[in-house]
């Protein structure tokens, strides 16, 4: 292992290259890539890596980037791509196809606001477009987590019990371009962690069709199988955590990360880097004697409802902070998490940091104060973080 100063984009690229080389004894590695701010640096670094039995194809659109991954995964290779924002929107058709074909593509997504108007800063709205597309979605809080999650994602995606694509999400600039000390594992360790990919459905010489015509009852069966595979993810996730820890000496975060929740009377639930800010705010509140706790949802799909329900047990006040807005509804995480609270609990939705607004601990403390003053939950609140 070597500690390097890396942006999350570069961390993701190095992880993809390590994973790619680790499949050199099998069918190799193939990636289709296309630039878009703020994920460009990930594809740039990947294009500069030497990858034995690997190929990075510089295509003409995100739609084709995912299509190359589909073709390569159908051919049995390990596959990776990266994108952001409107690139993910353009890619959506093939991203859905990759999931429905049960191809274990890994994508590093740098979360950026959808346009127009054009805004290159952080917002979770882009990857949330694909929330229901059959992908596993992991939201990261720091650069080390991005690197580890890309490696972890291949292990998860390629497990025979899973065979689903994984999106590793990290926020524009907050992580994508921010340098941090990051442990980069040795190739030999990654080789031990990632077994060679042997996709049972890959195209061989047998005349059969991948992605053929489905009549309704066939689709019902295929969706049920997909849903069952999602249902097995958390079990495989735990095994992969153990394996990761045994090889690399650190444990990837749980699907739900609790911070100072043991005796908490109120919780602030969030995703991505806002969760780190929430933890600092919790420390400040605790210093004042307020029993505040933080919950970070790392895995949005499959949704870790049971883990959230355990943390919400006995808690009467819950703030859910979203860096996204489902227009006409409210925050996406709020919509999902509130169903796990106990009856009668106040679950208030707050949307903040849209379009990359800088969310600071004082914002979170103001949210906690607003929550404490409420007698009932109201409509979701859209707050301006400013600058």
Partner 1 sequence: MSDSVLATLPGDRSPACEPLLRPGNSNCGGCGMSTAFQLLGRAVEGRPVQLVIPASCAAVAAGPFPFSALGAPAVLSTFGAAAAVATGLAQVARLNGEATRVVVWAGDGGTYDIGMASLSAAAERDEDVLYVCYDNEIYGNTGGQRSSATPAGAATTNTPRGKREQKKDILGILAAHRIPYAASVSLAHPQDALRKMRRALDARGFRFLHALAPCPTGWKSEPALGVELVRLAVRSGLYPVIEIVDGRKLVVNVEPEFSAEALELYLSLQRRFQRSGVEARDLRAAIERHWRELRSRSGRIVPAEREG
Name the one range near partner 1 by CB under 8 A: 206-214, 238-246, 259-267, 315-323.
206-214
- Distance of alpha carbon 201 from alpha carbon 208, whole angstroms: 10
* Contact with partner 1 (CB under 8 A) among 32, 87, 255, 302: 32
**Nearest residue (CB) to partner 1, 74 versus 285:** 74
Tokens standing for residue 357: 């607004």
Taking a C-beta distance cutoff of 8 angstroms, is the pair 338, 292 a contact?
no
* 28 is a contact residue toward partner 1 (CB under 8 A): yes
* 50 is a contact residue toward partner 1 (CB under 8 A): no
* 43 is a contact residue toward partner 1 (CB under 8 A): no
H or E stretch including 230? Answer: helix 216-248
Tokens standing for residue 339: 């169903």
Taking a C-beta distance cutoff of 8 angstroms, is the pair 119, 91 a contact?
no
Name the strands in the sheet holding 292-297, side by side, starting at the edge strand that comes first in the sequence.
256-259, 292-297, 266-270, 317-322, 346-351, 381-382
* 360 is a contact residue toward partner 1 (CB under 8 A): no
**Nearest residue (CB) to partner 1, 55 versus 178:** 55
* Contact with partner 1 (CB under 8 A) among 5, 58, 246, 251: 58
* 19 is a contact residue toward partner 1 (CB under 8 A): no
Q: Could you tell me the smallest distance in angstroms from the CB atom of residue 65 to partner 1? A: 8
**Nearest residue (CB) to partner 1, 98 versus 341:** 98
User: Is the link from the previous residue into 78 a cis peptide, with omega within 30 of 0?
Assistant: no
Q: Could you tell me the smallest distance in angstroms from the CB atom of residue 202 to partner 1? A: 9
Beta carbons within 8 Å of 282's beta carbon, 6+ residues apart: 259, 260, 268, 292, 293, 294
* 210 is a contact residue toward partner 1 (CB under 8 A): yes
- Distance of alpha carbon 247 from alpha carbon 190, whole angstroms: 8
Separation of CA 367 from chain center: 25
* Contact with partner 1 (CB under 8 A) among 47, 53, 187, 283: 53
Name the one range near partner 1 by CB under 8 A: 58-66, 246-254, 265-273, 372-380.
58-66
**In the range 65-104, which residues lie near partner 1 by CB under 8 A?**
65, 67-77, 79, 93-94, 97
* Contact with partner 1 (CB under 8 A) among 12, 22, 30, 151: 30
Q: Could you tell me the smallest distance in angstroms from the CB atom of residue 104 to partner 1? A: 14
Instruction: Write a three-state SS string for 75-111.
Output: CCCEEEEEECHHHHHHHHHHHHHHHHCCCCCEEEEEE
Taking a C-beta distance cutoff of 8 angstroms, is the pair 66, 32 a contact?
yes
Tokens standing for residue 22: 């680790």
* 141 is a contact residue toward partner 1 (CB under 8 A): no
* 201 is a contact residue toward partner 1 (CB under 8 A): no
Per DSSP, the three-state class of 240 is helix
- Binding residues for partner 1, rule CB under 8 A, total 44
- Distance of alpha carbon 278 from alpha carbon 268, whole angstroms: 7
- Distance of alpha carbon 35 from alpha carbon 130, whole angstroms: 20
* Contact with partner 1 (CB under 8 A) among 59, 189, 345, 382: 59
Q: Could you tell me the smallest distance in angstroms from the CB atom of residue 11 to partner 1? A: 25
* 325 is a contact residue toward partner 1 (CB under 8 A): no
Which residues are near partner 1 by CB under 8 A? 27-28, 30, 32, 53-55, 57-61, 63-65, 67-77, 79, 93-94, 97, 203-215, 218
């Amino acid at each position: 292992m070597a500690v390097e100063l890396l942006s999350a984009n570069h961390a993701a690229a190095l992880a993809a290259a390590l994973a790619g080389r680790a499949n050199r004894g099998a069918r190799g590695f193939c990636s289709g890539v296309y630039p878009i701010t703020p994920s460009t640096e990930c594809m740039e670094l990947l294009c500069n890596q030497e990858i034995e039995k690997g190929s990075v194809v510089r295509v003409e659109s995100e739609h084709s980037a995912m299509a190359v991954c589909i073709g390569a995964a159908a051919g049995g290779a390990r596959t990776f791509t990266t994108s952001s924002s409107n690139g993910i929107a353009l890619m959506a058709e093939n991203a859905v196809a990759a999931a429905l074909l049960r191809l274990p593509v890994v994508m590093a997504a740098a979360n950026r606001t959808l346009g127009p108007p054009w805004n290159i800063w952080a917002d979770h709205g882009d990857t949330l477009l694909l929330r229901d597309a059959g992908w596993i979605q992991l939201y990261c809080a720091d650069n080390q987590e991005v690197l580890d999650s890309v490696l972890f994602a291949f292990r998860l995606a390629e497990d025979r019990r899973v065979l689903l694509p994984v999106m590793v999400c990290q926020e524009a600039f907050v992580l994508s371009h921010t340098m941090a000390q990051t442990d980069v594992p040795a190739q030999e360790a990654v080789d031990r962690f990632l077994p060679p990919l042997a996709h049972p459905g890959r195209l061989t010489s047998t005349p059969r069709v991948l992605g053929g015509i489905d009549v309704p009852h066939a689709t019902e069966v295929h969706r049920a199988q997909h849903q069952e595979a999602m249902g097995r993810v958390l079990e495989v996730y735990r095994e992969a955590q153990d394996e990761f820890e045994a090889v690399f000496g650190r444990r990837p975060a749980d699907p739900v990360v609790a911070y100072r929740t043991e005796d908490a009377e109120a919780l602030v639930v969030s995703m991505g880097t806002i969760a780190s800010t929430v933890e600092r705010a919790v420390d400040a509140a605790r210093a004042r004697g307020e029993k505040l706790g933080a919950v970070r949802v790392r895995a949005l799909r499959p949704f870790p409802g049971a883990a959230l329900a355990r943390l919400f047990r006995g808690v009467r006040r819950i703030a859910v902070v979203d860096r996204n807005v489902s227009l006409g509804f409210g925050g996406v995480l709020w919509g999902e998490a509130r169903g796990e609270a106990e009856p009668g609990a106040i679950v208030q939705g707050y949307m903040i940091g849209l379009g990359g607004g800088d969310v600071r601990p004082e914002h979170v403390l103001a949210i906690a104060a607003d929550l404490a003053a409420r007698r009932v939950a109201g409509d979701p609140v859209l707050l301006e973080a400013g600058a």
